[in-house]
Structures are given as structure tokens and as C-alpha cells.
Copies of this chain bind each other. A is one copy, B any other.
Amino acid sequence: MSHHTIDLANVKQIIAQIVAEHDIKSVAFVGCGASSSELYPGYYFLRDAAKQLRPFHYTASEFNQDTPAWVDETALVITCSLGGTTPETIEANHTAKTHGATVVAVTHAAGSALTEEADFTIVHGFEANYAAKIEKMGYVIALAVEVLNQTEGYEHYDAMIDGFDKIFDLAQAAAVSAQGGMAKQFAEQFKDDEVVYYMSSGASLDVAYSSSICLMMEMQWINSGSFHSGEYFHGPFEITDKDVPFVLLMNDGKTRKADARALTFLQRFDAKVAVVDAKDYALSGAIDGSVVTYFNPMLHTAVFRTYAEALADARSHPLTVRRYMWKLEY
């Protein structure tokens, strides 16, 4: 297998140039839908590890409509859009620039509208394989790691860099191994369900969110909701029953206990549950324990993509079919 990675030297150089010219105090991750969810792990990393930087995560319309007071030349705004055409996110670049902030756009589409007002652009892969599909998330986390390390310093920097060297091949192998077996099994078991809930925790929280609002609601027209495994016991668990299906993205990291507690309860009431467990793919065997928590969303995204593809096949409902998107002005 060829070695898959991302251009970390470029990320390092971009951040070096930014911090040489600006006293960065706030870092905002701004996007919509799946892109918003792929920004979350970068936000999570800074929320967890930074002691001085001020991290924020916004859906783009809110950033534009209620622009926070701190958006000025001390702010770094990281925006994300796969096709580079999301209107609210393009507007977020403009909002940020109008207030003097620095913008890094992460997109698959070089030269797209998202790149026009951005100070820096990072172009990521997508089509090649499952590793390519998580490049976007990888670049976002790498930007977070670099800005932390180059401002206040970060104790586990080397472990993160080592993790980036391993996660893409690991996630690709995991996705391929899931593809034939677990993914097909999931598709057969869940293809007729009318509602499916998603849970996770830690850095993977928004993988549950995007699996719910994008893969289920948008791409399969299946009813869905998502929440943190730790919140399950404070409301959602009352809906638990044999015929209520759940997908649990289990973390191999600091918040595993929250996921495991939810699983124990689901199993106790014989609920229908599909588990994508990062431990099954030996995430913590490959990546240092000091940083493994942050790599879960990349693994979960790659593996669950194969589940969604298998479900789409089993339901004869391709992931690319839309009722409204691409067809209407709204």
C-alpha cells in the first residue's frame, strides 16, 4: 500500500507567516453542514489543549449575522467548503476580512469562490480513496496544532506529527476492512429503519452529527437525530427500546467511558445498535496515548463512509440523489 499523508510543511509555513505578522489570540472554525462538522476536531483540539488561545466553532450564517466582538486583526478564521461554493461560508470570509482577520480556506476546489478573499488556501483530496476523504479534517486539525505550537507551544507536538504520518493509512485500511463485512451487515440490518440515532463523544461528536444530518437525512431521507454519548442519559435514553436503532461511534481515547456507558445501557435493553469502535481498528496501538483522542474522528469518518455507501446500495438510493439541493434556488 502506498503511503498516504498530507502536506504538513505547507501548513507549518502558512501558520508561520500568519503568526509572524499577527498577534493571533482567537481562532474561529467556520463552515456549514458536513464542512462544519469536519472543522469540529480542530476546534476540539484547541478547546482541550490551548491555555491562551480562544477557540470558536460557528455555522457560517451565525458568524455573519451575529459577528462576535473579537473578530479583528488578532483573529484567525479557518473556513471550509468541499466545492468552495457554499454562499454563507464565502460570506464568512468576507465578514472576517472586513474586520481585519486572517482567513485560511480549506477546500477541494482550487480557484473556487471560497479561495477569492482567503489569505491562504489549502486544497485537499477527496475522490482517490477513504484516506483522501479525511484529508480535509486532517488539514484542519494540523492548522490547529501548528497555531498552538507556534504561539504558546504544545507539549505533544511530535506525537501529533507522528499521528498524521499514520492516521491516513490506518483509516484507509480500516475502511477497506469494514467495507465487505461490517458495512454490509449494517446495511442489511438498518435498511428498512425509519429513524436512526447517532451518538459519539470527544473529538468525534460531530461525526455523529454529520452522519445524522448529511448521510441519513440529506442523502437517504431517513429520519435521524444525534447527541453526545454523555447526554444520552439526560433525555434521549428514555426512547431506548428494542425497535429504536442507534449507531454508536466509540472512541479509543479519553471519552471512551462515556461511549461505553451508553453501549452498556443499549445492550441491557436489547436495543438495535451498530458500533463503530476505533479500538477494533487498533487506533491506540498506532498513535500515542497523549494525542489518540484527537484522531478518532478521522477513523470514524473513513469507516462510517463505507457503512453509508453500503446502506445506499442496499436501499438503491445513491448518496448523490437530492430533492432540493442543486435543483432549486433557496
Instruction: Confirm or deny: A172 has a beta carbon within 8 angstroms of a beta carbon on chain B.
Output: no
A36 to chain B: which residues have CB within 8 Å? 231, 234
B47 touches A56 (CB 8 A): yes
18 contacts between A and B (CB under 8 A): A32-B233, A33-B231, A33-B235, A47-B56, A61-B229, A61-B255, A62-B201, A62-B228, A65-B202, A65-B254, A66-B254, A195-B195, A213-B227, A213-B234, A214-B234, A218-B236, A237-B324, A265-B330
Instruction: Say yes or no: A255-B223 contact (C-beta < 8 A), given A33-B231, A234-B34.
Output: no
B234 touches A33 (CB 8 A): yes
**Bound state CA distance, A69 and B66, in angstroms?**
29
Instruction: Confirm or deny: A221 has a beta carbon within 8 angstroms of a beta carbon on chain B.
Output: yes
Which of B54, B59, B65, B214 is within 8 Å of A54, CB to CB? Answer: B54
**Bound state CA distance, A211 and B323, in angstroms?**
28
Chain A interface residue bracket vs B:
35 or more
B255 touches A66 (CB 8 A): yes
Residue in chain B with minimal CB distance to A228: B59
Task: Tell me the smallest distance from the CB of A320 to a CB of chain B, in Å.
Answer: 12
Instruction: Confirm or deny: A217 has a beta carbon within 8 angstroms of a beta carbon on chain B.
Output: yes
Which of B62, B213, B257, B325 is within 8 Å of A258, CB to CB? Answer: B62
In chain A, residues 40-97, which have Cβ atoms closer than 8 Å to a Cβ of chain B? 47-51, 54, 56, 59-62, 65-66, 68-70, 86, 88
Copies of the polypeptide in the assembly:
2
**Bound state CA distance, A211 and B213, in angstroms?**
18
**Bound state CA distance, A213 and B239, in angstroms?**
9
Which of B56, B65, B236 is within 8 Å of A217, CB to CB? Answer: B236
Instruction: Confirm or deny: A322 has a beta carbon within 8 angstroms of a beta carbon on chain B.
Output: yes
B56 touches A69 (CB 8 A): no
A125 to chain B: which residues have CB within 8 Å? none
A69 touches B54 (CB 8 A): no
Which of B48, B68, B219 is within 8 Å of A48, CB to CB? Answer: B68
A239 to chain B: which residues have CB within 8 Å? 217-218, 221, 223
**Bound state CA distance, A69 and B45, in angstroms?**
11
